[in-house]
Amino acid sequence: MNSAPEAGARTDFLGLAFDARPSPAIHAWLAARGAASDFAYVVTPNVDHVVRLETAGEAVWQAYRGAAVCVCDSRVLSGLARLCGVRLPVTTGSDLVQTLFLDILKPGDAVCLIGGSDELADALRRRFPDFGLRHHLPPMGLIRDAAARARAVAFAGDAGARATLLAVGSPQQELLAFEMARSGAVRGTALCIGAGVEFLIGARSRAPRAMQRLGLEWAWRLLTEPRRMWRRYLVDGPAVFPIVWRWRRAARSARR
């Protein structure tokens, strides 16, 4: 169903099979795919995803494991992996979206955006008028609305896009990508990118490069969007530490 950048180039961490290759190899894989390619999708787990997966059902796990490409979206997560002796390269969803639009897509390529506001879609069209953008805005509660997900899958199939951007939040976007793969109606590549388009058009600002390199992008987002991000980073996020500790203990026991 999906074709990964390189067979066997995976790193197991916290129950997910992350791609072990660096960003340029992921970009090259993405660039080699066109609108007629067999459908494949990319997931970008970060700390928030990992914490949510701890209590997720099998359907959500299946959606993550069905991805052709699973990249680490968090330098914090990569650092925790390093403490466990695991090398986990970072390729952020925001960087993937930027590379897609600035370096990969060609004039005339079709793009499908699922999620995001009409204003966001209009801003994307204004910045990249050479790409044919089709936009579908599903209703709230997508995770519990099978009919709405089916409409989104049908829209993506009709769009015939080279790239389908899923911006409906985790785990809705991963479930939607998995259902697109199962449908057989969609081709090209889907990226589960969260707020990646908002960063691309400047609706939100990314942390300075120095903060990104230090793994402090979360602090920047907390400072710039405190009302929206305080719970994610100060309440939910710390739950990742016991998750990692349990995984490390289990991994050590398995090696004995």
pLDDT at 207 over 70: no
**Helix/strand/coil for 160:** coil
Place of tokens 């990118």: 193
SS3 at position 163: strand
pLDDT at 237: 77
What tokens does 94 get? 């925001």
CATH number assigned to the domain comprising residue 74 = 3.40.50.10700
On whether residue 51 sits in a domain, the answer given is yes
Instruction: Give yes or no for a contact between 109 and 163, defined as CB atoms under 8 angstroms apart.
Output: yes
Q: Is residue 55 part of a domain?
A: yes
CA-based nearest residue to 42, from 186, 164, 199? 164
Domain hosting residue 107, numbered range: 10-197+207-251
Residue 62 counted as domain residue: yes
The answer to whether residue 256 scores a pLDDT higher than 90 is: no
pLDDT reading at 7 higher than 50? no
List the one residue out of 69, 61, 80 whose CA is nearest residue 18: 69
Please indicate, yes or no, if residue 171 is contained in any of the structural domains: yes
In a domain, 106, yes or no: yes
For residue 232, is it within any domain? yes
- pLDDT band at 32; cut points 50, 70, 90: very high
CA pair distance 206, 189, nearest whole angstrom:
25
The pLDDT assigned to 113 comes to 97
Number of domains in the chain: 1
Region of 116 on the Ramachandran plot (φ > 0 left; ψ -120 to 50 alpha; else beta):
left
Query: Does 127 reside within a domain?
Result: yes
Q: What is the mean pLDDT of residues 65-86?
A: 94
Which pLDDT score is estimated for 6?
45
| Residue 119 within a domain | yes
Q: What's the confidence (pLDDT) of residue 2?
A: 46
